[in-house]
Structure 1
Amino acid sequence: MDDIALAEVTRGGRIESLHLGRIAVMDDSGRVVQAHGAIDKAVFPRSTVKALLALPLVETGAADRLGLSDAELALACASHGGEPRHAETAAAMLAKAGKTLTCLECGAHWPTYDKAAHALAASGAAPTALHNNCSGKHAGLICLAIDQSLDPAGYIDPGHEAQRQVTDALVMATSVPHNEANRGLDGCSMPTYAIPLSALATGFARFGTGRNFSSGHASAAARLRSAVASEPFMVAGSGRFDTTLMAHFGNRIFCKMGAEGVMVASLPELGLGIAIKTDDGANRAAEVALASLLLGFDEAGWSDSDRAVLTGLSHQVMKNWNGREVGTLRAAGKG
């Protein structure tokens, strides 16, 4: 099946750019609810699966024993912008485990949120691993290792016991293998595994309902969803799609953007999971495609305010440096 047009950019009343990709909507039994494009084709989920990776942190009791807050659990699921609160929260997680940023093996980069990067540069400081958009995920792995009396060094390696536990969680959720045959290396040096887009969507249907999870993992998923709903800023940051969507919808929608145009969502009340992949890796296309898709879920009973938020996210006005409107970013065929 050919991939489909997901999003388009207009200028002067014409379509200037077109983003192609595919969408899988699955229920928690693995049944296809909607298929747009080649949903059995494998993708690297990248950062979309961070909430699944955080399941052992909660299920083992490590989060409770270390006293991790909702903000800290949300950061464990995050691809954040490196704003001060993000970096401070990652440091606080490490402190609860008796560690410092020197234990982080994700590398350092400038905050991806421009204002935070400019402020950091203006202060004369250099970025640290705390500003890495994956620092919360890495801090969560260190917390898991310390709680289990494991040496956290090398926690990013597939053979480390903490890494094996989080990989087992991915297998549980998606029901497909995660091993050396489909392993790649993510930007933060953790493994990432190529799996069918349909399996990724199934995993997030189950993240919402707990099906195929142990009772402990199902409770952990519910707690992580609640933490993210209460602290959506921690998951992404100022002006970001994920934060905007979850700040409005709370527990009704969990969503997570990943690198190279991969997006997932979980709708617990409907028992559905969604996974999107853009062919060109454009995150902006995956975002507007998800918002437009959600608008079509009449069974969700969206209110007028719900629809207004989704409409705004699926049809965005583009302006130039002078603030003049130049075109739109919108779901394909929605002009």
Structure 2
Amino acid sequence: MDKVLVQEYRADIMECAHHGHICIVNDKGDVQAYTGDPHFVTFTRSAAKPLQAIPGIRAGIAAHYGLTEQEIAIMTASHLAEPEHVKVLESIQKKIKSDDHVLVCAASYPLDEESKENLLRQQGHKRRLYHNCSGKHLGVLAYSEMKGYSAQDYAKPDHPVQQEIIELVSNMCDIETQHIELGTDGCGFPVFAIPLSAMATAYMKLACPDLISDDATRSAVQTITAAMNHFPEMVGGRGRVDSLILKDTNIVAKGGFKGVYCFGLKKERLGVAFKILDGSEEEWAWIVQSILEQIGYEHRDTIEQLKLHFSTEIYNDGGQQVGYAKPVFQLQS
């Protein structure tokens, strides 16, 4: 049964209650703590992006194309199409000799409001490159180009790279391939429906790659997670929870649309995954902060930064405080 994770109050009257599930696994693959159903099945959405980047990096696309750490990081991103994001994405396009028309993701305006306003003032137009998943797409296109695979159907589940990704997800999540249900993500890629415990297991391995038996996969994970920690703004952007948390080099983190969030803790050797059932993302930072506090996380600065940048105070359009939010869940062992 789901549990209330966060309550929101206006004039001291509860206005909203956000239900969901949380799972924390240890490096033995056991559920160490949870709230609700730790095996609740949901779609990974963009939380799968660091996993989806592994096959290409494992196969050598970084050396083949001379990719920078920024370019590797943005392959895991749900970026806002800020100017620096666009610069890095266009650099990848140039290196792999590709352009927007090959991308399956829809043409979009930047999610960053300032970037969108500047673009419109300059009479700019939507681009597929501005889609928040374009880095992931360019990573798969780079791998397809290097291997001589078709670029026309790179997003279809039966494409060789997508098949390799599914197998990789199976191995990282410790779940049989036949138990992974497939859907179609908003950007057109296959998306995986798996238990939260499986997602948490994958993030535990991202944080603790010594648990990965295959040398090439382990090396790829180390390359990807290092890039995410070294260039956290590439993974999200200004004001994004991912980018703030990734500044803590002890954490590997990535959120996904419709309320999915995952992170791994290196020193503590833990993987965490949670799902907010109403699909909201506003509560991510509050839930992460509460989890870190409840497990006694030593890096207090990360918790304080979450409190500073993601206040639980609720303001109206005029800047007046009108309410507050509070996490109300307690982790169970």
Moved more, 138-147 or 208-217: 208-217
Find the counterpart in structure 1 of residue 49 from structure 2: 50
Q: Residue deviations 1:113-155, cap 9 Å, x none?
A: 2222222222111110110000000000011111112222211
Find the counterpart in structure 2 of residue 219 from structure 1: 219
- The answer to whether structure 1 residue 161 and structure 2 residue 160 are counterparts is yes
Find the counterpart in structure 2 of residue 228 from structure 1: 228
Residues 188/244 of structure 1: CA separation in 2 closer, same or farther (3 Å cut) = same
Find the counterpart in structure 2 of residue 92 from structure 1: 91
Report the Cα distance in structure 1 between the residues aligned to 2:150 and 2:329, rounded to whole angstroms: 53
Find the counterpart in structure 2 of residue 39 from structure 1: 38
Find the counterpart in structure 2 of residue 265 from structure 1: 263
Moved more, 270-279 or 91-100: 91-100
Segments of 5+ residues of structure 1 without an aligned counterpart are none
- Helix, strand or coil: the match of 1:6? strand
Segments of 5+ residues of structure 2 without an aligned counterpart are none
Find the counterpart in structure 2 of residue 112 from structure 1: 111
Contact 1:263–1:287, Cα closer than 8 Å, also in 2: no
Contact 1:288–1:313, Cα closer than 8 Å, also in 2: no
Give TM-score scaled by structure 1 length: 0.93
Find the counterpart in structure 1 of residue 276 from structure 2: 278
- The answer to whether structure 1 residue 308 and structure 2 residue 304 are counterparts is yes
After superposition, residues 191-202 of structure 1 pair within 5 angstroms as 191-202=190-201
Specify the code of the residue in structure 2 equivalent to 1:328.
Y
Identity of aligned residues (%): 27
Find the counterpart in structure 2 of residue 320 from structure 1: 316
Report the Cα distance in structure 1 between the residues aligned to 2:23 and 2:291, rounded to whole angstroms: 11
Residues 142/213 of structure 1: CA separation in 2 closer, same or farther (3 Å cut) = farther
- Give aligned pairs, total: 329
Report the Cα distance in structure 2 between the residues aligned to 1:162 and 1:307, rounded to whole angstroms: 38
Moved more, 94-103 or 45-54: 94-103
Specify the code of the residue in structure 2 equivalent to 1:183.
L
Contact 2:46–2:78, Cα closer than 8 Å, also in 1: yes
Deviation at 1:174, TM superposition (A): 0.5
Q: 1:291 aligns with which of 285, 289, 292?
A: 289
Moved more, 208-217 or 232-241: 208-217
- Helix, strand or coil: the match of 2:283? helix
Find the counterpart in structure 1 of residue 246 from structure 2: 246
Find the counterpart in structure 1 of residue 325 from structure 2: 329
Deviation at 1:180, TM superposition (A): 9.2
Deviation at 1:227, TM superposition (A): 0.5
Find the counterpart in structure 1 of residue 202 from structure 2: 203
Deviation at 1:178, TM superposition (A): 4.0
Contact 1:291–1:314, Cα closer than 8 Å, also in 2: no
Specify the code of the residue in structure 1 equivalent to 2:138.
A
Report the Cα distance in structure 2 between the residues aligned to 1:28 and 1:333, rounded to whole angstroms: 24
Contact 1:43–1:195, Cα closer than 8 Å, also in 2: yes
- The answer to whether structure 1 residue 14 and structure 2 residue 13 are counterparts is yes
- Helix, strand or coil: the match of 2:274? strand
Contact 2:4–2:18, Cα closer than 8 Å, also in 1: yes
- Helix, strand or coil: the match of 2:288? helix
Deviation at 1:315, TM superposition (A): 4.4
Specify the code of the residue in structure 1 equivalent to 2:206.
F
Residues 313/291 of structure 1: CA separation in 2 closer, same or farther (3 Å cut) = farther
Moved more, 277-286 or 208-217: 208-217
Give TM-score scaled by structure 2 length: 0.94
Q: Residue deviations 1:52-92, cap 9 Å, x none?
A: 11111211111111111111111000001121221221121
Taking only aligned residues, the RMSD between alpha carbons, in angstroms, comes to 1.8
Q: Residue deviations 1:211-250, cap 9 Å, x none?
A: 2441111111111111011111111111111112222x1x
Report the Cα distance in structure 2 between the residues aligned to 1:5 and 1:155, rounded to whole angstroms: 40
Contact 1:6–1:286, Cα closer than 8 Å, also in 2: no
- Helix, strand or coil: the match of 2:20? strand
Find the counterpart in structure 2 of residue 72 from structure 1: 71
Contact 1:29–1:202, Cα closer than 8 Å, also in 2: no
Contact 1:30–1:199, Cα closer than 8 Å, also in 2: no
Deviation at 1:14, TM superposition (A): 2.6
Q: 1:255 aligns with which of 253, 256, 274?
A: 253
Report the Cα distance in structure 2 between the residues aligned to 1:163 and 1:213, rounded to whole angstroms: 22
Report the Cα distance in structure 1 between the residues aligned to 2:37 and 2:190, rounded to whole angstroms: 24
